[in-house]
Amino acid sequence: MNAECLLKHYEKIADAPAAIGCLRGFILDLAVRGKLVSQDPNDEPASTLLKQIATEKARLVKAGDIRKFVEPISIPSEEHPFELPRNWQWARLGDLLTKLTDGTHHSPPNGPTGDFKYVTAKNIKNDGVLLDDITYVSREVHEEIFARCNPEKGDILYIKDGATTGVVTVNDLDEPFSMLSSVALLKLPTCLLNRLVLLFLRSPFFYDQMRGFMKGAAITRVTLKRMGPALFPIPPLAEQRRIVNKVDELMGLCDRLEAAHIGREAVRDRLAAASLVRLNATDPQTFQADAHFTLGALSALTTRPDQIKALRQTILNLAVRGKLVPQAGDEPASKLLKRIAEEIAAYAKAHRLGQSHAKLIVDDDLPFATPNGWEWTRLCALFKAITDGDHQPPPKADKGVAFLTIGNVTTGRLDFTGCRLVPKTYFKTLPPYRTPAKGDILYTVVGATYGRPALVETDRAFCVQRHIAILKPVEAMSLRFLMVLLASPLIYDQATRSTTGTAQPTIALRPLRNFLAPVPPLPEQHRIAAKVDELMALCDRLEASLTASAGTRRRLLDALLAEALTPADAGELEAAE
């Protein structure tokens, strides 16, 4: 292993995605290939171990402890996955074991009390058998299962069914217990170290073999018939001990590296959170300095793209609080609201709509103070109409007009891919205020993805399901500011408080129309929207940079690890950077 090269580039790879997990797998990969510790020519070769295993199995057959076994057939060189050290030997897993079986294939009656513990896949963990939520079976049931599958302390337990297939542990329980068939039991001869076999079973080499054997659709599984013929490299007994000791030493180093990484991430998260808190609770006198510090330091405090989400929310929060751009003595929003009211009244008259009656606003309802010249109002006072799609299931058609559901708008953009179609005749029966048009805003009001706005930027005719609200903006407001407002934590928090239902959260139109909304003067709306666009573009660049950096670190890590198995040219490492 080229430790010097790895250490030289460590700082560049330490924050690579799953870096420590890759290192752990790499250590095990080196171990199974005989590249982790030096070979000693004086060690008794593995071929002698295979003879000892055969002798021990013959003795167990004679004693009636195991069934008669078939003498192993040597594995031809063309089947060898890779070359082993001279004194190692390739074998089949089943030929090495004195027993390979699994638990009961019929789930027996079990409960919180009983005579013997009943172990399933959920109890098998890397560090032993977890007894949390353990259930029990009767003595009669246990004796029937244990007659075929008799786990003892020191045996190996391997999950072979389901999503956790490949998790393997050494049985650390002293008492007998019963098992379900999702767990395989591997009993070893005395001349094989169970810790060595455990580590090799955890290696990428063995796991890849098992993944290739997996069958099933709903629940993937590995059968015992597949496990038995799996290829397994066997080192001399003395080297087995050296390998186990070296792996333990290196895994301890990985533990320390992982703890240090978690500590660094926690510190970064706290610093980034503290910086954003300073912005969200801004002191007008220190805001500019706080903002300058946060935006300047954020690239050093963020290492993951997901951390940018908090910054985006902070930007939107500052925007609707009047903290993002300076005020400039513009015409007050009170005059703007009068013009908006006239526009809404004219629309309602033209389309024979009843106007929404906004709830009275009292000072105790206001979540924060707004700058001079701003006004508080309700959403219904900013839109000509706030409605939703047809409440009756629409007819289907092979050709016609697009019908969008929540899944088509949750990304914040309209996606017509694979959408349903409705007949044109049906579409024409919908009133104009229930058919979205370019410049309208859609807002999800049902399900886990509620509270997401999407701007209609197409001239294409379409309609929507009732789970999507249609907001028709007035001409007198900045459309971009309205999008900022609807995407802000202020509106989302009100949406969350207004939802009804648990399995299917729903925002009714009446509370939606009455969400509180701060209104700045129109010129300031345009300045706010421009600043938000500028800062969101900064977030996009930072996010892209983090994604690219993570990819570079991962490629460099892969190159460094691969070099230890197949020596690479220095130029390949430079290219990875």
For the chain, the structural domain boundaries read 1-41+238-329+522-577, 44-235, 333-520
Record the tokens describing residue 455, joined without a space: 């701007």
Distance in angstroms (rounded) separating the CA atoms of residues 165 and 411: 34
Rounded to the nearest angstrom, the gap between the alpha carbon of residue 361 and the centroid of all alpha carbons in its chain is: 42
Could you tell me the sign of the dihedral formed by the alpha carbons of 9, 10, 11, 13, in that order?
A: positive
Residue 192 has pLDDT above 50, yes or no: yes
Identify whether the C-beta of residue 297 lies closer than 8 Å to the C-beta of residue 331: no
Residue 292's pLDDT is 58
Q: What is the pLDDT of residues 256-271, one digit of tens each?
A: 878 877 777 776 667 6
Residue 546's pLDDT is 75
Give the residue among 501, 492, 491 at the shortest CA–CA distance from 447: 501
- The third-level CATH classification (topology) of the domain covering 44-235 is Adenine-n6-DNA-methyltransferase TaqI; Chain A, domain 2 (3.90.220)
pLDDT level of residue 282 (50, 70, 90 thresholds):
low
Residue 569's pLDDT is 43
Output the 3-class SS for 119-169: ECHHHEECCEECCCCCEEECHHHHHHHHCCCCCCCCCEEEECECCCCCCEE
pLDDT level of residue 573 (50, 70, 90 thresholds):
very low
Q: Which residue has the higher pLDDT, 273 or 503?
A: 503
Whole-Å CA distances, 551 to 16, 17, 555, 569: 8, 8, 6, 21
Distance in angstroms (rounded) separating the CA atoms of residues 115 and 569: 62
Residue 574's pLDDT is 46
Per CATH, 44-235 and 333-520 having the same topology is answered: yes
Residue 3 has pLDDT above 50, yes or no: no
Residue 571's pLDDT is 44
**Backbone torsions φ then ψ of 199, nearest 5 degrees:** -65, -40
Residue 551 has pLDDT above 50, yes or no: yes
Residue 567's pLDDT is 42
What is the mean pLDDT of the segment spanning 377-384?
Answer: 96
Whole-Å CA distances, 18 to 45, 285, 343, 398: 37, 43, 56, 47
CATH architecture label of 333-520: Alpha-Beta Complex (3.90)
Q: What is the pLDDT of residues 92-104, one digit of tens each?
A: 999 999 999 999 9
Q: What is the pLDDT of residues 387-410, one digit of tens each?
A: 999 888 889 999 999 999 999 998
Record the tokens describing residue 472, joined without a space: 């028709």
What is the mean pLDDT of the segment spanning 43-54?
Answer: 92
Distance in angstroms (rounded) separating the CA atoms of residues 452 and 495: 10
Mean pLDDT over the full length of the chain: 86
The amino acid that residue 186 corresponds to is L
Q: What is the pLDDT of residues 313-355, one digit of tens each?
A: 888 988 999 988 888 889 999 999 999 999 999 999 999 888 7
pTM: 0.60
What is the mean pLDDT of the segment spanning 362-386?
Answer: 93
Give the residue among 10, 55, 9, 315 at the shortest CA–CA distance from 189: 55
What is the mean pLDDT of the segment spanning 277-297?
Answer: 59
